[in-house]
Amino acid sequence: MTARPGLATHGVTAIVNGAERRARVIPRLLLADLLREEWGLTGTHLGCEHGACGACTVLVDGEPTRSCLVFAVQVDGCRVDTVEGLAGDGPGLHPLQEAFRVRHALQCGFCTPGILMTLVAYLRLHPAPSETEIREALSGNLCRCTGYQHIVQAALDAAAAGREAGASA
Amino acid sequence: MKFVGDRHLRKEDPRLLTGRGRYVADIALPGLLHAVLLRSPHAHARIARVDSTRARAHPGVVDVVTFADLGSAGRAMPMVPPHAELRGHNFAPLAGDRARFVGEPVAAVVADSRYAAEDARELLDVEYEPLPSAQTLASGAPAVHDDVADNVAGRVTLARGDVEAALRAAPRVASVRLRIGRGGGQPMETRGLVADWNAALGQLTVWASSQVPHQIRQFIADLLDLAPHQVRVLAPDVGGGFGAKLIVYPEDVLIPFLARRLARPVRFIEDRLEHMLAATQEREQEHEVTVGFDDAGRLLALRDRFVHDTGAYTPRGLVVPLLTASMLTGPYRIPAVESSFESRYTHRVPVTPYRGAGQPQAVFVIERVLDLVARETGRDRAQVRLANLVRTEDMPWHTGLPNYRGSGHVVLDSGDLPSVLRRALESARYEARGAEAAAARAEGRLVGVGVACYVELTGVGPFESARVRVDAGGRITAWSGVSTQGQGLETTLAQVAADELGVTPEDVAVIMGDTAGVEHGTGSFASRAAVVGGSAVALAARDVYAKARLLATRTLGIAEADLEQSGAAFADRRRPERRVTFAELARTAGAATAALGVEPGLESTRYFQPTDMTYSSGAHVALVELDPLSAIVRILGYWISHDSGRLINPLIVEGQLQGAVALGIGSALLEEIAYDEAGQLLAGSYMDYLLPTATDVPTMVIDHLETLSPLNPLGLKGVGESGTLPVPAVLASAIEDAVGPQGGRVTRMPLGPARLLDLLPPTRLGSGENP
């Protein structure tokens, strides 16, 4: 999809989940399609393709970004983090992922990667959020399955665990 | 039982949390092609000509297919289930000479990338002759199908007793007109398919984001003239269904057709606009209700006549209006009932069940009636409900109305409806909340309390299948004919199997949604998967366990009384070092001779065929505040008491209830599919069709009762849809309470801000409060 004779292509180099990746892409290729179709990172999901549902949220230089609204060429030289890199190299889960599991904060799992990436960035900046603040931080991510209650609880749990880990460190 | 009842953490979660889920759009095969569909821009048009010359010439395009190319696959798909009163029509894989709703597929473009396919779609030249369309439920609209001139797809009356006489005899009578609008399931993953034709095997493999893979297999086999064993349909991880993936769609046959035609794998992923345009929807009905009652608020007679919008086709026959009509009396004793409907065609997206399936409308109608009776008699709304609920000693309760399948009557099999309501009231501190609301209203705030009860028809047949096998490697696998779209069935079915086999859920791999796993299957809808699918797994696992014990006694040469299980092995109680594992038993069974007295294989395939539906019940209480300036409803508190029989996994059940209530809040306050007079969709994105967000949905307090169903081995009742049913009703009740006697009456759903403003009491309108 990225190249066809006669079509201009551009080089993209990005640090994806800590490792450098390169691709040649057509100018209009979306970041989501680069991640999913070229680099095989299918954990990033497309729910609406118009920036409203948040399922495709990834971090670009640490900022939550809708990968359906960004062209691949725009991340040239950037750091991109997706759900696949959240837990690091180990076999375990990231504390937020673990909280989601314990609280049953996911059902079909389709919106989950975008919600995790949104919350990871939010909790980094807001280590002690209130329930209302978490709900507002989540309000750009749609989940049709859970009713959000368990997601909010998981985020509060993860925030508390993060504070504890910080205090004991 | 060790694991049934446990708040067991889900087996599917580690995969889904780390981005290792496998949804249909994640499936990439070598040589994969991408299909996009051209959809009718007209609600009703003659398709005079499709010229694909320019599209075919576009770089990357491999094929363009129209109705004329379909050959024998260009037939209408079957309808499920049939009904004597149905004048049904279903769609074909592509529209032929006429398009009947905006979004109906007209042509497919296949290319080496989705980008190229979408570009080429713009180059298709279609000559449409637009025709007048039916956009109203009133009679006299243009005919949707030539042989159904009056657009009536079916007309049915269900009755118990002589309702006219009962209404005449009733001390008091009241009437109300109620309307419910359209909405949709809106799973976060849209629909999609990958199809692959293996010419060497003569076999189609189809991955479909679907609730009914076995039905898709049947439709593909029928329309493509293949034997069922030549078609394997798999539902991989599915990102939500809610009914939007319940029917077999044109694409479900068209994409496999393309894969066979091109001998290349083909992927189709619906985009969100297409989902809004063409995924089936539900709820639109107009009711005229008359109720007879006495001064004590007791219901004596109920007559409901309604018109149901079925859209352009009837893939699910009359199921939705039949559910509304047959479930009208809900949890209440009403001596005389008549419920009749006309299901009418319109030039709009077909209507098929989505979460709740006709029942939210029935609950809205009967609960509005209960509130009306309370107001007319000056009685408390909860007390009026308690006076009319079916009592525990009345169970099983025969409503006297035929059920929607025509397989008998609606008979509430079990439950304790008064306790469910009382516990919801206690949990909410109903009387105190009422006083709080009244005090707030005295200060000029619009605060109100609502209450609503419901029963839900669950555990629908005809059957579900399960195959449980211990293989020679000791692996335990359970295949089920149900599929999962997020309900946690991989975990709950493993819990059921684990208890039967004396192992843990982690020891049991559950495979669903694969027609190669079990030959026959029904699917996941109608809150049936855990009830019917779980029962089938229990039966099959019981067989395997009995066979394993028999083989163990023979292998060890001991009496059954001396057999002791430890995990996936049996030992001689007297000499524990003498043991035999499940794997060894499977190997023994795999080479079973006649002398061994058992059939080969440590496995069993079983079907559970419920004799009747089982009914869940519950009551919801809501505390709301209506902001007169923004006309936004804030839900201040929400309490649920629910009885879905034995709970396999309470954590999962709570998640089901919370999600269902959230969906109900959307359908009550936010979501409406609107069309203009030409049948053009007015809400084609999430910017104008609003799903509830984390700030719209309150924290809910959930209380469980467990009245076991007598209709299946584990006493299960379904839950998946239950939470949705009473939400419009309970919010209507609360909002009406909030606006007070001077305010308006809630007679339609959904209630967007404009309609909420119409309900405000006169003192709150134009009161100059706007700063």
For residue B723, what is the domain's CATH number?
3.30.365.10
Q: State the pLDDT at residue B1.
A: 65
Class of domain A10-85: alpha beta
Domain boundary among B577, B608, B639: B608
Domain residue extents for chain A: 10-85, 95-168
Domain boundary among B567, B590, B608: B608
Number of domains in chain B: 3
Residues of B whose CB is below 8 A from A116: 17
In terms of C-beta density within 10 A (0-12 exposed, 13-18 middle, 19 or more buried), how is residue A130 classed? Answer: exposed
Separation in Å, CA of B25 to nearest CA in chain A: 8
Dist. CA B104–CA B253, nearest whole Å: 14
B160 found inside a domain: no
B174 found inside a domain: no
Is A42's Cβ below 8 Å from some Cβ in B? yes
Q: Do B188 and A148 touch (CB under 8 A)?
A: no
Q: Do B188 and A144 touch (CB under 8 A)?
A: yes
- Regarding whether B401 and B521 lie in a shared domain, the answer is no
Residues shown for chain A: 169
Which residue of chain B has the CA closest to A110? B239
Asked whether A35 and A14 are in contact (CB, 8 A), the reply is no
Residue carrying the six token digits 């280590």: A127
A6: pLDDT confidence band, cut at 50, 70 and 90?
low
For residue B28, what is the domain's CATH number?
3.90.1170.50
Q: State the pLDDT at residue B769.
A: 44
Dist. CA B163–CA B651, nearest whole Å: 44
Give chain A's largest Cα–Cα span.
59
Average pLDDT for B148-165: 97
B142 found inside a domain: no
Identify the residue among A39, A107, A116, A119 best suited for mutation to test binding to B, counting B beta carbons within 10 A and taking the highest. Answer: A107
CA distances from B722 to B162, B381, B452, B491, B497 (A): 31, 21, 13, 20, 25
- Regarding whether B221 and B77 lie in a shared domain, the answer is yes
- Regarding whether B617 and B548 lie in a shared domain, the answer is no
Average pLDDT for B60-71: 97
Dist. CA B78–CA B93, nearest whole Å: 12
Is A68's Cβ below 8 Å from some Cβ in B? no
pLDDT tens, residue by residue, B319-344: 999 999 999 999 999 999 999 999 99
The pTM for the full model equals: 0.96
Domain boundary among B257, B278, B299: B278
Strand B33-39 relative to strand B105-111, pairing: antiparallel
B80: pLDDT confidence band, cut at 50, 70 and 90?
confident
Beta-carbon contacts of A151 under 8 Å, excluding residues fewer than 6 positions away, are A100, A103, A105, A106, A115, A138, A143, B694
Q: State the pLDDT at residue B177.
A: 98
- Regarding whether B657 and B528 lie in a shared domain, the answer is no
Residues of B whose CB is below 8 A from A109: 12-13, 16-17, 21, 237, 239, 486
Dist. CA B497–CA B508, nearest whole Å: 7
B764: pLDDT confidence band, cut at 50, 70 and 90?
low
- Regarding whether B343 and B264 lie in a shared domain, the answer is no
Domain A95-168 has CATH 1.10.150.120: yes
pLDDT tens, residue by residue, B455-501: 999 999 999 999 999 999 999 999 999 999 999 999 999 999 999 99
Query: Would you state the torsion angle of the CA atoms of residues A84, A87, A92, A94, taken in this order, to the nearest 10 degrees?
Result: -120
The alpha carbon of B202 is separated from its chain's Cα centroid by a whole number of angstroms, namely 34
B99 found inside a domain: yes
pLDDT tens, residue by residue, B343-362: 999 999 999 999 999 999 99
Q: Which of B414, B309, B415 is nearest to B358 (CA)?
A: B309
- Regarding whether B749 and B617 lie in a shared domain, the answer is yes
B770: pLDDT confidence band, cut at 50, 70 and 90?
very low
Residue B685 lies in domain? 285-460+611-764
Q: State the pLDDT at residue B767.
A: 45
Q: State the pLDDT at residue A3.
A: 59
- Percentage of chain B beyond pLDDT 90 is 96
Q: State the pLDDT at residue B765.
A: 55
- Regarding whether B96 and B212 lie in a shared domain, the answer is yes
Residues of B whose CB is below 8 A from A113: 19
B163 found inside a domain: no
- Regarding whether B367 and B317 lie in a shared domain, the answer is yes
- The continuous run of DSSP H or E covering B320 comes out as helix B319-326
B173 found inside a domain: no
B32 found inside a domain: yes
Q: Is the pLDDT of residue A167 over 90?
A: no
Q: Is the pLDDT of residue B204 over 90?
A: yes
B2 found inside a domain: no
- Regarding whether B293 and B266 lie in a shared domain, the answer is no
Q: State the pLDDT at residue A52.
A: 96
User: Which of residues 95 through 114 in chain A touch B, CB cutoff 8 A?
Assistant: 97, 100-102, 104, 106-113
Q: Which of B348, B431, B341 is nearest to B383 (CA)?
A: B431
Q: Is the pLDDT of residue B73 over 60?
A: yes
